[in-house]
A and B are shown apart, each in its own frame.
Chain A
Amino acid sequence: MSCEEFQRILPELEDTYSLEQEQHLKTCSHCSALVADLNAIAREALLLADIEEPSPRVWNRIEIALRQEGLIRSAQPAAPTLRKARWNPIWLVPVAAIFLVIFGLLLYQRGGVEPQTAHVLHSTPLPSLPEGVSAEQAELLKVVAAQTPSLRASYESEFRAVNAYIRDAELAVRRNPNDQISQQYLTNAYEQRAMVYEMAMDHGLQ
């Protein structure tokens, strides 16, 4: 095998060589030096992955935008695990333990409602879902349509269906906050919507 032949197929090889190619590398110092150099570059490049640090103003701008868009909501009555994280456990272990016991009793009285679900449904005003699709979903549908126009209508009808499911499930949980089946409907509804998002995003990113 000549150097020209070897270097012509080198882009395709990706570190696996045939016997003939290995033989050429053993006998040709020029090609073996080339391969060694290219591998060294690839190895060194791996170490460059995450060594740069952005300036603090990047987070500041992100936080401002999140607040403007309402994605950061006002502070919830903190769950015990969050409050526990704020306190030095050495100094406040007994206080945290008492709080956990009280919270556990409250949970028991409520019949095992997940604290996060309770907070979402009782402390936070329910987002009002539009009849059709949300603005965010409409944006995603545009991206899908740009890639695969024939799928837009299909995804739109799926979004409408899962949005309706979530609406009904949220109403059911509001009526029966302690009802596990209503909570199960809500969990399923969110999972279904997440699946539609995931598949739509896969199409949009192609």
Chain B
Amino acid sequence: MNVTVNGRPREVSAGATVASVVEMLDVAPGARGVAVALDGEVVTRGRWADTELREGCLVEVVAAIQGG
């Protein structure tokens, strides 16, 4: 299944979830200051594990940085 993660095309296995993408990015479980949007909708942390990706979906994984 082809998806886009943070602007880059990625191939993931069928049944991949938001949690598997986060894991793919080397984010430690429970890492602070991380949030995910799937096709422009926020997926709360509690739903990462059971939110499955769809073919062609856009995943944005964001983290805290200095700014403002």
A and B bind? no
